[in-house]
């Protein structure tokens, strides 16, 4: 493996994607690991850039072929996972790999790569704040928001299993904290 692995996990709406995008603009030699999913693209999302999009049936075939280092069926027929080929692609480029993955996937990657990986959990300051953020996004139905909040309560119980927990109360502060933690990890 050419570089180190930086794993970000969090409940939906905690701000992990915003923090990951911020870190990609810094001089950290990071390359984003594009996840695979069985959901449809949203808005202007593109295959191979935002996600690798597959049907649920195609995703299950990839699982059977052992093409994933980790995957999860988040909801019925809604899969997310990390392709082995994506890790190889980034390692070949000589970059450190940054992941934006669900909690179970993040812990599975950490388990496989051990000290070569840093697992960071982004926590919301409270469930109430998370609910406000999800409502303000305007991308989900009220039913889906309730599902996400219910799942978030469960995902928060995994936080102690991560190497680092960052509470995203003030975005700029959380971004700076994440950047410093990663710089320290990469310089070990």
Note whether 82 and 64 are within 8 A (CB).
Answer: no
Q: Among residues 183, 59, 157, 28, which one has the least CA distance to residue 165? A: 157
Please give the pLDDT value at position 1.
39
Please give the CATH architecture assigned to the domain spanning 5-186: 3-Layer(aba) Sandwich (3.40)
pLDDT along the chain (188 residues), means of 10: 84 89 95 95 90 97 97 90 94 92 93 96 90 80 82 92 96 97 94
Cα distance between residue 43 and residue 25, in whole Å: 23
Contact 34, 40 (CB under 8 A): no
Half-sphere exposure of 109 (CA within 13 A, CB side): 33
Q: What is the pTM of this model?
A: 0.88
- Cβ atoms of residues 73 and 54 within 8 Å: no
DSSP state letter for 47: B
Determine phi and psi for 184, rounding to 5 degrees.
-60, -45
CA-based nearest residue to 125, from 1, 2, 15, 7: 15
Ranges of each domain in the chain: 5-186
CA atoms of 126 and 131, how far apart (whole Å): 9
């Amino acid at each position: 493996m050419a570089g180190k692995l930086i794993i970000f996990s969090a409940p939906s709406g905690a701000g992990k994607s915003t923090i990951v995008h911020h870190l990609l603009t810094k001089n950290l030699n990071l390359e984003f690991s594009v996840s695979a999913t069985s959901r449809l693209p949203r808005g202007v999302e593109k295959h191979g850039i935002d996600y690798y999009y597959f049907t649920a049936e195609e995703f299950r075939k990839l699982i059977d072929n052992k093409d994933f280092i980790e995957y999860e069926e988040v909801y019925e027929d809604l899969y997310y996972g990390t392709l082995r080929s994506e890790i190889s692609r980034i390692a070949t480029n000589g970059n450190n790999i940054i992941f934006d993955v669900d909690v179970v996937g993040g812990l599975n990657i950490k388990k496989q790569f051990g000290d070569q990986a840093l697992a960071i959990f982004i926590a919301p300051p409270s469930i109430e704040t998370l609910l406000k953020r999800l409502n303000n996004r305007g991308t989900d139905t009220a039913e889906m928001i309730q599902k996400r909040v219910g799942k978030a309560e469960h995902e928060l119980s995994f936080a102690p299993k991560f190497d680092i927990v960052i509470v995203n109360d003030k975005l700029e502060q959380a971004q700076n904290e994440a950047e410093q933690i990663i710089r320290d990890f990469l310089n070990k």
